[in-house]
Amino acid sequence: MSVLVTGGAGYIGSHMVWRLLDAGENVVVIDRLSTGFDWAVPAEVELVVGDIGDPELVGKVPRERGVSAVFHFAGSIVVPESVTDPLGYYLNNTVKSRALLEACVDAGVPHFIFSSTAAVYGTPETADPVAEDAALRPESPYGTSKLMTETMLRDTAAAHPLNYACLRYFNVAGADPAGRTGQSTPDATHLIKVATQAALSKRPYMQVFGTDYPTPDGTCIRDYIHVTDLVDAHYLALEHLRATGENLTANCGYGHGHSVLEVVDVVKRVSGSEFEVRMADRRAGDAVSIVANSDRIRERLGWKPHYDDLEKIVTHALNWEDALSRRNT
């Protein structure tokens, strides 16, 4: 039996592929390579280049490869872009997820792990870490598109023999500590990616969007989770579904946040680079502050993060960005 990873040539997906290989799983990847790279997929893994919205493709791969579980990472993730292109996000994140879900039902795939987001919460009513039972009030089409897929999963699982885990990511950062993969998209918008590029002179400067938020230093606060801890949580979710068949929706975060300016300061300190930072207006769709209550995933899955340290996250991100520099010369 195989495990299918959609978006497995991308940032988080490629880390998941390595985690699955480390666990001895047989892996197949579907990726259209819009933001991913074929070289990010290990040589021993089959890469099917195509779109998950292609019904013929997603109809045959689960059957022909004997897929018993799907990790669904493929999708669009830029919040401001979703505000200007909502229909594109509903197509890529929701409509195509429906096509994939239908193919899984038709093929009898029993387990589905979905890459969701903390954006489903919007800005929480209180400053306390947000739990899974908080009000779901996304403030961008990106968050809404992910919430719609969560709803489809819930209803599909009620009607068919399919169980699922929806993992709501907070801010994913860092890179594989062994240097096998990392965030490789040159124009990615992740804060730590952008800051490390500025530190290595790949950008002439970086921007901070919004300095008038009601936070201690006026910039947004986020819960940054190391990508390796994140994919460990995904593998634990798969083991949970295999063992119990119980559906799960859980936050993936550490339970504490850092402001944008705090992150920039850490990148400067770790890199030893005094790169230029320009202040800019707020971006559409950005929540003020959002931090995870991660009690559920710790208690139900026994998840124990190993990289809950902003300096470690930044160090691994810098190491990968430096490795990309050598790769692209």
- CA angle, 138 then 223 then 23, to 5°: 100
Cα–Cα dist 84/282, whole Å: 15
How far apart are the C-alpha atoms of 61 and 59, rounded to whole Å? 6
Sequence-distant (≥ 6) Cβ neighbours of residue 75 within 8 angstroms: 7, 92, 93, 96, 97, 115, 145, 146
Place of tokens 């944008």: 260
Please tell me which residue in 89, 90, 142, 169 is annotated as part of the active site: 142
Nearest to 199 by CA among 125, 274, 266, 139: 274
As a dihedral over the C-alpha atoms of residue 159, residue 32, residue 89, residue 119, rounded to 10 degrees, the angle is 80
Active site residue 224: no
Which residues, other chains included, contact 18 with Cβ-Cβ below 8 Å and sequence gap of 6+?
Answer: 42, 176, 180, 181, 231
Tokens linked to 234: 């995904």
Active site residues: 142
